[in-house]
Structure 1
Amino acid sequence: MAPQTPPPSVNDPQGAGTSASETGAVPGVPGIPENRRTGTTGGGGNAGGGTLRKSGGSATTVQESAPGADTPPATRGRTSIADGVVEKIAGMAAREVPGVHTLGGGLARRLGAVRERVPGSRPDVAQGVKVEVGQRQTAIDVDIVVEYGVPIADVAAALRENVIAAVERMTALEVVEVNVSVIDVRLPDDEAEEETETRVR
């Protein structure tokens, strides 16, 4: 007769001879995989901040508290910040840096120029900016076009400082990184071509 496996005991909810590391379950909580615990991330560099996700029109909760007369009035309720808000703040801060001509790739800039010619429209300040947002952290990618002759490394460093300061001050989110991609250089001859194109439209 084949040997029978003894039933799980109180001290061994996983089953006799099976460890929590083998099943991936949370120690002491049968049936719940360890990688499904709240706050657990699949990658490094974001512990405690929740899994970063790409922006897609959703909002991030940066403050939440239980309602009640015992809590201070300023903390009663929830504060949510839309991902687009983070993108706009980063875009405005990046454009303030000397040496940055514009943001976004060639196609994005052309679409933005067409949009600006529509009566009543406004420039897309989030153009060239992408964000990933967690519960308490955010990561930002910025595509820029720099002016000819400027030290690119210094421009990128100043951009990071300005973007991080603006986003953290306005949203209270921790900026874990700002990745800067220099995709083009604006040459002196480009200004004359832009003026000619503007006159013929």
Structure 2
Amino acid sequence: MINVSEKTVVKTPATGGALESAQGRTTIADTVVSKIAGIATREVTGVHSLGGGAARAVGALRERIPGSSTNHGQGISVEVGEKEAAIDIQLVAEFGVSITDLAAGIRTNVINSVERMVGLSVVEVNIDVQDVHVPSEDDSDDGESRVQ
């Protein structure tokens, strides 16, 4: 499982985080941050899919149901405080991609997206690489074997 650092996020009541100004208060639900983080993670080249094995299986079944939509928060868990957010991401990487570069790219994209869209400071983005996707011969388009 993902290690939690010494940085903590003060959790507010079930409504999520709050942004206050003289004109009023804005609350951000955890699901909003998780969707933004999920979309930002999928944008990074080298991410095959999000979530652990069970989450991916449920997601694949969900996508086969007519009229259903993709769960953009799959594989993402967040803690949203009044001014800060912490994000944990589970993913499957593409084979051949530098995992350290992939993690750095994901962190940058997620932090920029969340901070820009919701105004919360992202204190940490923990990434748990669950597996590496290796393209099988079934995925090739040419239908020819490499060895003859």
In the alignment, is the contact (CA less than 8 A) between 1:132 and 1:138 conserved in 2? Answer: yes
Alpha-carbon distance in 1 for matches of 2:100, 2:121: 23
The 5 Å alignment of 1:1-201 reads: 45-46=7-8, 51-52=10-11, 58-65=15-22, 76-189=23-136, 192=138
TM-score, normalised with respect to structure 2:
0.84
Distance 1:128 1:44, change over 3 A: closer
* Letter in structure 1 aligned against 2:45: P
Distance 1:119 1:154, change over 3 A: same
Aligned-partner SS, 2:106: helix
Higher relative contact order (CA 8 A, sep 6+): 2
Alpha-carbon distance in 1 for matches of 2:6, 2:105: 26
Aligned-partner SS, 1:188: coil
* Letter in structure 2 aligned against 1:107: A
In the alignment, is the contact (CA less than 8 A) between 1:52 and 1:138 conserved in 2? Answer: no
Ranges of 4+ aligned residues in structure 1 off by more than 3 Å? 43-46
How far apart are residue 134 of structure 1 and its match? 1.0
How far apart are residue 44 of structure 1 and its match? 5.3
Give CA deviations for 1:19-42 in whole Å, capped at 9, x if unaligned: xxxxxxxxxxxxxxxxxxxxxxxx
Gaps of 5+ in 1: 1-42, 66-75, 194-201
- Give aligned-pair identity as a percent: 51
In the alignment, is the contact (CA less than 8 A) between 2:15 and 2:27 conserved in 1? Answer: no
Gaps of 5+ in 2: 140-148
How far apart are residue 77 of structure 1 and its match? 2.1
* Letter in structure 2 aligned against 1:125: H
How far apart are residue 138 of structure 1 and its match? 0.6
State the superposition RMSD in angstroms: 2.1
